Chain A
Amino acid sequence: MIQLKQVSKRYGDIVALDQIDLTVQDGECVVLIGPSGCGKSTLLRSINRLIDTDQGDILVNGQNISTYKAEDLRRQLGYCIQGVGLFPHLSVFDNIAIVPQLLKWDKSKINDRINTLMDLTGLPLSYLSKKPHELSGGEAQRVGVCRALAADPSILLMDEPFGAVDPMTREQIQLAFRKIQRELKKTVLFVTHDMEEAILLADRIAIMYKGKILSLETPGGLINGTHDPFVNEFIGADYPLRLLKRYTLADLKVINVDSKSQLNQVSSLNEFSTAKEILSEILKSGSQEIMIQKTDRTKVIVTYDALIELLQKVLNNEIV
């Protein structure tokens, strides 16, 4: 759990953080988003004391961070930055193993841990002996995630970690990351400037502007337009549509059908497709419903109405 109480920071005349109050619950992923200079990175870096705050208290797992030695604190937190910062002279294995080695884990424990992580992020074990420059951007990013998770910290601090990757790869990594975070129940504070990334990953989104948190809601909760005008402008008028990317077939009410029929089948979709893709395909088909085949070869029918029902549920906070 991360708690920030009345945290403030100035640089000369500029207020970087203005009496911030924020609590990130265990296992929760809170995404900090906002325009450049809003203070999101500053906020993140004050938690692992890369930046020292002027006022306020920060508690990690109930303990004030000022009571720790800086290095000890940092070793307990997973930290991942944009561009990853992998050490070019070390192999993938050595890169990931750094913090566990600092914590003096024994070799077999480190080995097991790394194997698990590689598996988790979908990287082949043969990559362990490679050097960073032999990896693609996406692969390097995944190694960065492994590295952040290496010492099994309960808390992860991620500072725009997927920013330097191309959009297609980014989506894959985002999904992989969400899966890992939810499975391992890691507490994550995630900084980004990409709204869609926030929509996908966050349990709650904190929108920041000029050092203040203007809004702290679940992604679904942001649909209600009763907010700060800046927030409305920031999330954009098409927010509900963008929100659709967060939900998949599993969140929709579907009709199971006999596997032999082929009417209105859209073969490019399966159960992992987002609600947005499904809506697009229904529009393209020109009819009121389409059929989707799941990977287990069973087929379901999705209608317009099912989509509208989903949105209603989101608006009513029945679905997160």
Chain B
Amino acid sequence: MKSSRLKINLGYGLIGLASFALPLGEFKPNRVVKGILLYPTDLFSPYLIMAFFIGILMLYIVQMRKKNPGVLTQWLMISLGLLPSLILIALSAVKISGIEFNPSAARVSLGSGYYVLLLGILIILSQFKSFKWFLLGMVFSVVISVTLNLVPNLGLIKEFNNVKNSFIKAIGTHLTLALSSALSAIIPGILLGYISYTHSRWREWVMGFVNLFQVAPTLSLLGLVMIPLSLLSKAYPILSQWGIKGIGFAPAFIVLTLYCLLPIVANAYAGFQQVDKAILSSAQGMGLTPFQIFYKVSFPLAAPIILSGIRTALTQNIGNTILAGLVGGGGLGALIFLGLSQAAPDLVLLGTIPVVIMALMSDQIFEFCEYKLNHMMGVVHDTTQTS
């Protein structure tokens, strides 16, 4: 009880702060110039804000008294979920007078108040069972607002319209790169993990080697990889035809694969380690060859933990793939760096949001897969990863 009460108080405090002290958005006449800050009272009448607070309070009281969320609570949650989008719509529709501006160039960016408000609401509501209804309402209303073009003046939307054509392609390239490099680290990672397990002398070497890549700065790694690749592709033109060049897909792919090694190797090692020695001894005594022991016994028993390592690798890789944008590899990283170089924060946001969403989705999908695998194995493993 105590910690959730703390959470509620914290949540209220943040919401209160947001409502009065921080700007919900910023109206900018053009992409780069400083704009006019928009506060809640600029967008909504004070009565509406009051009503919102009362609504939250009501919800809190209703939820606290009931053990199971009734239909009323569900609908209250859904309607609260509409709030973030309503603010977006209001921001987009704001009318400014007093300064001259070009309507096509002007845009509204989200302010700190918006994020703080969102955080506060999430903190309060996440402790309730019916929280998923809030999420449902929020996601649904955001998607509707965007597709029905209810928020055309948002900076985010304007930047999106600019890069519309290449956006989907960027997501595709990004996902392909992230997935393929993670996948190609799987087999070497498992083998390296198995080798460190069976030959303990080599373990330090393997771990050191794999750790090296985590520690080395990415840019240096990219640079290091680009030079030999470039020389190679010049010496053997057929490589160029296959798309293996010093820039673009190839160096990013190699560096990303190396990054994915550590979680997979570490988890593979841990996975093989935790297999009961008695089982291995019995397998050997029954007459299985070392290779048979590997694929019939060790590997299946280590599989859930290895899967957890792959999950980590892929989820972190989706973020790492942003770096491909630095070497002409495309993807969402290219958008992010473009936004950075042009000092257009909304473009950076546009590039970052899909990365976050994809990473979260990948994590969820893998969690489900792990659950299924554990079921199949019939043994409950501790799936917390070790790296």
Give chain B nearest CB distance to A177 CB in angstroms: 18
Does B301 reach chain A (CB closer than 8 Å)? yes
Q: How many A-B residue pairs have CB under 8 A?
A: 68
CB <8 Å contact, B281 and A85: yes
CB < 8 Å neighbour of A89 from B278, B286, B287, B377: B377
Given the contacts A88-B377, A88-B378, A88-B379, A81 and B285 also touching, CB distance less than 8 Å: yes
Give chain A nearest CB distance to B84 CB in angstroms: 46
CB <8 Å contact, A89 and B289: no
Q: How far is the CA of A25 from the CA of B378 in the complex (A)?
A: 42
Q: How far is the CA of A70 from the CA of B287 in the complex (A)?
A: 7
Give chain A nearest CB distance to B58 CB in angstroms: 49
CB <8 Å contact, A74 and B378: no
The B interface, classified by DSSP as helix, strand, loop or mixed, is helix
- Considering only CB atoms and an 8 Å cut-off, how many residues of chain B contact the other chain? 21
Q: Which residue of B lies closest to A74 (CB)?
A: B287
Does B288 reach chain A (CB closer than 8 Å)? yes
CB <8 Å contact, B377 and A74: no
Q: Which residue of A lies closest to B282 (CB)?
A: A85
Given the contacts A89-B378, A89-B379, A131-B378, A73 and B282 also touching, CB distance less than 8 Å: no
CB <8 Å contact, B301 and A71: no
Does A84 reach chain B (CB closer than 8 Å)? yes
Interface string of A1-25 (1 = CB under 8 A from B): 0000000000000000000000000
Q: Which residue of A lies closest to B289 (CB)?
A: A71
Q: How far is the CA of A88 from the CA of B302 in the complex (A)?
A: 12
Chain A contacts for B289, CB-based, 8 A? 71
Chain B contacts for A48, CB-based, 8 A? 285
CB <8 Å contact, A89 and B300: yes
Give chain B nearest CB distance to A80 CB in angstroms: 8
Q: How far is the CA of A213 from the CA of B83 in the complex (A)?
A: 85
Does B283 reach chain A (CB closer than 8 Å)? yes
CB < 8 Å neighbour of A84 from B282, B292, B297: B282
- Considering only CB atoms and an 8 Å cut-off, how many residues of chain A contact the other chain? 30
Q: Which residue of B lies closest to A150 (CB)?
A: B286
Does B279 reach chain A (CB closer than 8 Å)? yes
Interface residues of B in 274-315 (CB under 8 A from A): 276, 278-279, 281-289, 292, 296-297, 300-301
Does A50 reach chain B (CB closer than 8 Å)? yes
Q: How far is the CA of A99 from the CA of B284 in the complex (A)?
A: 11
CB <8 Å contact, B285 and A74: yes
CB <8 Å contact, A87 and B297: yes
CB <8 Å contact, B292 and A102: yes
Q: How far is the CA of A143 from the CA of B300 in the complex (A)?
A: 21
CB <8 Å contact, B285 and A79: yes
CB < 8 Å neighbour of A73 from B276, B287, B288, B377: B287
CB < 8 Å neighbour of B281 from A72, A81, A134: A81
Chain B contacts for A266, CB-based, 8 A? none
CB < 8 Å neighbour of A71 from B282, B288, B376, B378: B288
Q: List 9 A-B contacts (CB under 8 A).
A: A70-B287, A74-B284, A85-B278, A86-B279, A88-B279, A89-B301, A89-B377, A98-B288, A147-B286
